[in-house]
Structure 1
Amino acid sequence: MKYLPIGQDLFITNRKKLSARLQASSVAVFNSSDLMPTSADGTMPFKQDANIFYLSGIDQEESILLLAPDFPDERFREVLFLRETNEEIAVWEGHKYTIEEAANTSGIKTVKWLNEFESVFNTILAETEHIYLDSNEHIRNGSQVETRTDRFTNWCQKNYPLHEYQRIAPIIYDLRCVKEQREIEMIQHACDITEIGFRRILEFTKPGVWEYELEAELSYEFLRNRASRFAYDPIIASGGNSCVLHYIENNQQCKDGDIILFDVGAEYANYNADMTRVIPVNGKFSKRQRQVYDAVLRVKNEATELLTPGSTIPDYHKAVGEIMERELLALGLISKSDIEKQDPDWPAYKKYFMHGTSHHLGLNVHDVASIYKKFEPGMVFTVEPGIYIPEENIGIRLEDNIVITKQGHDNLMKNIPIHAEEIESLMNA
């Protein structure tokens, strides 16, 4: 791993919180992600499953975590299983966790090789009534790929059909959406790396540069500052591409007079940043670009003030929509007549602002949580309103990462330039 050690205290705390939510006489099982194939003998870069990382800090394939909080033998209340390494693996794949390293990383005292899993699991189940199994229950999940977790679920239910099965996702999702201070520090670090990359972009950008060159500049700064990777496929969208919400081709030349929308973030220690900024290719916004830019910035600032304990995502999005409606009226993009005739399920403002304003952020970029869970201190959200005008080749989205606190909120991207004057000044320095 490129990142520095996080410390086992976070993972010990997370396991305690989860264990306190389990029924008596239970075991919970978490599997690592698969190494995903490409073609021939190729594989994608490994990306650890967020749940097992949240509970153990183990960032390696073929790992299993068992939690049985009230098992009679204390040695088996927390058990971590790892792929056993050897000299051949070390030569071809490099270093893997030793028993001692895994124990030090996770704070788990009982660490065994994977070939002992079935024996230990059988021992635990002899004294257990409930089995909590993991699954991807993210509201946006549409994957058809069978995962290591899916295969384990099938195996477990086939071999132990008479136990009571429970879903762990609602419990761990509820825990993960409220961050510990150490987690917020990791997200802040990812934001800080993202800032370094963006400031490099402000110096590098000029008419004629290609979108992929800007991607390369970001990648350079991210990697040299210990980011594992981009948090998601970077969006570097110039001109009319800025109106395409998930534009990732990044293969066009940036022209004088156009804007560039950057939706990028660094991943550090599996925690993610998610930033959007818009800059003028030539270092100076046109009058119309500036009008739209300032309107979006006003919406973002007001939306940030609405991130307070007690609200929910649906209520919050409705309130932000009313703010956006006001700005679109002022820009002449919608009329009072449009509002009077609008479909309540698809308000008039949706023509120019068709996505949500905020989502949870953490180990997943679109982090897990019920959209109906009330906001509370420790939650981390994006705030990312946008206005998209394809007929004018103007797409403006501005996004910061916000922690809700007891006192209000903290902007983890407060040091990343966002005001138009500052961006123009830095580009022309």
Structure 2
Amino acid sequence: MRTETPTSALFSTHRENLATLLKESSIAIVHSNDIYPTNADATLPFKQSNDLFYLTGVAQEETILLLFPDAHDPSDREILFVRETNPTIAIWEGAKLTKAQATERTGIENVQWTSAFHAALDRLIPQTENIYLPTNEHPRADSKVETLNDRFIKECKSQFSLHQYQRLAPLLHKLRAQKSAEEIHFIEKACRITEAGFRRILPRVKNGVGEWEIEAEFIHEFIRSGSKGFAYHPIIAGGGNTCVLHYTANDQPLKDGDLLLMDVAAEYAGWNSDMTRTIPVSGKFTPRQREVYEAVLRVMRFANSILRPGIQLADYQKAIHFRMEKELISLKLFTAEEAAAQPDSKPLVKKYFMHGTSHHLGLDVHDVSPPNEPVAVGMVFTIEPGIYIPEENIGIRLENNYVIGETENLDLMGSIPIEPDDIERLMKA
């Protein structure tokens, strides 16, 4: 098998945990994502709703999960609806899950065809008081395209207007923020595949090689290692492009004397990793590049020391800014006097470090979490400080993935080379 299959027990546990958070006399309904069109008769590759995947492990379109923990008939407490296959679908697309296969994948005994959903809905909704439905409540979401879940909310409210409607997102955000051992295993597997890609490219980077060639080396290693591919569109940025935070063209040749910033990582079994490394194209850092690099590395290690259970992310970011300010002063990018006179509304540090330091990681690269929730054991975060100096053609960002532990954090990318001496040594190989 290309990829390990998560156990059905994982998804059963996720559903059981969600059921305990629902009010009495409640039903929760989650639809799969749509297949999105591009042009002519083409479509984008299907990507499952991560809420549905978290609860079922099913990565198939036209799938619906119905949870009714208080149902009088025990067989109605969990129902999964999946697309019925036929000979035509089997020939053109490949056979879909059978009912038995869906049960094996999810642990749900009552599996029906999607065509039976509305009849079940009409029968079960009158037995409930509350209807929980999912919405995209990620703070950075830009939801201009209506999803299947969005359309169902309109349909359900129109048909069952006197029920009490509840938000499913806050409950799932709370549950998804803390990872089980099995989930961490898959994130760690994605990290190992990412490491293999990074080690593959180190001796191949040199003057004249295209950013796109480095991208190709990564995807080659990821796919041959069992990943389905990139966790997100990779950033392979040389020279001045290292100062463009979301540079994704990846179409320029590399040049001696420049840096190469790579924000690139693999997914595995649906879970993601997220790595950034910055290396010298020539194989050796200039004194100034190394000076900035080591400043970023010190901030990264400081961040790991304070990203501990109980801290609020807003307080964490303030502490990182204060530490970064000291590093930027030591790099002579501004003076201590200028820092003391800066307005609170426009800190000087943001000229050179303008993004956040950490985000949750899991089924989504920028994974969901409750707002204002303190850091807790079992959460998985990135730590990714950076310093960007366009006038010097220097952009350096470093990023690893960490599991928050009771006594210390576990660095899932601790074996991926990051010390400048190690980088230079491996690039000579």
Map 1:110-259; keep pairs closer than 5 Å: 110-259=110-259
**Local SS of the residue matching 1:201:** helix
CA distance in 1, matches of 2:189, 2:158: 44
CA distance in 1, matches of 2:103, 2:346: 52
Residue 55 of structure 1 is matched in structure 2 by 55
CA distance in 2, matches of 1:350, 1:166: 39
Check whether the contact 2:33–2:49 (CA below 8 A) recurs between aligned residues: yes
Deviation per CA, 1:345-381: give whole Å up to 9, x if none.
3311111000000000000000001341011100000
Residue 372 of structure 1 is matched in structure 2 by 372
**Local SS of the residue matching 1:165:** strand
CA distance in 1, matches of 2:390, 2:138: 31
Aligned-pair Cα RMSD in Å: 0.9
Aligned-pair CA distance for 1:140: 0.3
Aligned-pair CA distance for 1:94: 1.0
Check whether the contact 1:284–1:424 (CA below 8 A) recurs between aligned residues: yes
CA distance in 2, matches of 1:328, 1:224: 41
Residues 1:403 and 2:406 are matched in the alignment = no
Check whether the contact 1:130–1:164 (CA below 8 A) recurs between aligned residues: yes
CA distance in 1, matches of 2:49, 2:191: 21
**Local SS of the residue matching 2:382:** strand
Map 1:378-397; keep pairs closer than 5 Å: 378-397=378-397
Report runs of 4+ in structure 1 exceeding 6 Å deviation. Answer: none
Deviation per CA, 1:156-205: give whole Å up to 9, x if none.
11111111100000011011000011000010011111000000010211
**Local SS of the residue matching 1:126:** helix
Aligned-pair CA distance for 1:206: 1.2
AA partner of residue 326 (structure 2):
R
Residue 44 of structure 1 is matched in structure 2 by 44
AA partner of residue 345 (structure 2):
D
Deviation per CA, 1:208-253: give whole Å up to 9, x if none.
1000000000000011111112111100000000000000000000
Give the TM-score normalised by structure 1: 0.99
AA partner of residue 368 (structure 2):
V
Check whether the contact 2:276–2:397 (CA below 8 A) recurs between aligned residues: yes
Map 1:1-16; keep pairs closer than 5 Å: 2-16=2-16
**Local SS of the residue matching 2:279:** strand
Map 1:407-418; keep pairs closer than 5 Å: 407-418=407-418
CA distance in 2, matches of 1:412, 1:283: 26
User: Between Structure 1 and Structure 2, how many residues are aligned?
Assistant: 429
CA distance in 1, matches of 2:338, 2:136: 40
Identify the range of structure 1 (111-120 vs 362-371) with the bigger mean alpha-carbon deviation. 362-371
Residue 353 of structure 1 is matched in structure 2 by 353
**Local SS of the residue matching 2:253:** coil
Deviation per CA, 1:126-154: give whole Å up to 9, x if none.
21110000000000011200011101111
CA distance in 2, matches of 1:341, 1:182: 50
Check whether the contact 1:236–1:262 (CA below 8 A) recurs between aligned residues: yes
CA distance in 2, matches of 1:20, 1:356: 34
Check whether the contact 1:314–1:371 (CA below 8 A) recurs between aligned residues: no
**Local SS of the residue matching 1:66:** strand
**Local SS of the residue matching 1:208:** coil
Check whether the contact 1:33–1:61 (CA below 8 A) recurs between aligned residues: yes
CA distance in 1, matches of 2:174, 2:151: 24
CA distance in 2, matches of 1:160, 1:62: 22
Aligned-pair CA distance for 1:21: 0.2
Residue 266 of structure 2 is matched in structure 1 by 266
Residue 31 of structure 2 is matched in structure 1 by 31
CA distance in 1, matches of 2:346, 2:109: 54
Aligned-pair CA distance for 1:341: 2.4
CA distance in 2, matches of 1:2, 1:199: 21
Give the TM-score normalised by structure 2: 0.99
CA distance in 2, matches of 1:220, 1:281: 21
Runs of 5+ consecutive residues of structure 2 not aligned to the other structure? none
Check whether the contact 1:334–1:349 (CA below 8 A) recurs between aligned residues: no
Check whether the contact 1:78–1:108 (CA below 8 A) recurs between aligned residues: yes
**Local SS of the residue matching 2:127:** coil
Aligned-pair CA distance for 1:335: 1.2
AA partner of residue 316 (structure 1):
Y
Residue 92 of structure 1 is matched in structure 2 by 92
Deviation per CA, 1:9-34: give whole Å up to 9, x if none.
11011011100000000000111111
Deviation per CA, 1:294-344: give whole Å up to 9, x if none.
000000001011111000110100011111001000000121232122221
Check whether the contact 1:53–1:59 (CA below 8 A) recurs between aligned residues: yes
Aligned-pair CA distance for 1:282: 1.1
Check whether the contact 2:262–2:276 (CA below 8 A) recurs between aligned residues: yes
Check whether the contact 1:312–1:371 (CA below 8 A) recurs between aligned residues: no
Check whether the contact 1:208–1:253 (CA below 8 A) recurs between aligned residues: yes
Aligned-pair CA distance for 1:2: 4.6
Check whether the contact 2:86–2:95 (CA below 8 A) recurs between aligned residues: no
AA partner of residue 289 (structure 1):
Q
CA distance in 2, matches of 1:141, 1:257: 38
**Local SS of the residue matching 1:131:** strand
AA partner of residue 190 (structure 2):
A
AA partner of residue 3 (structure 2):
Y
CA distance in 1, matches of 2:371, 2:396: 25
CA distance in 2, matches of 1:359, 1:343: 27
AA partner of residue 352 (structure 1):
Y
AA partner of residue 64 (structure 2):
I
**Local SS of the residue matching 1:249:** coil
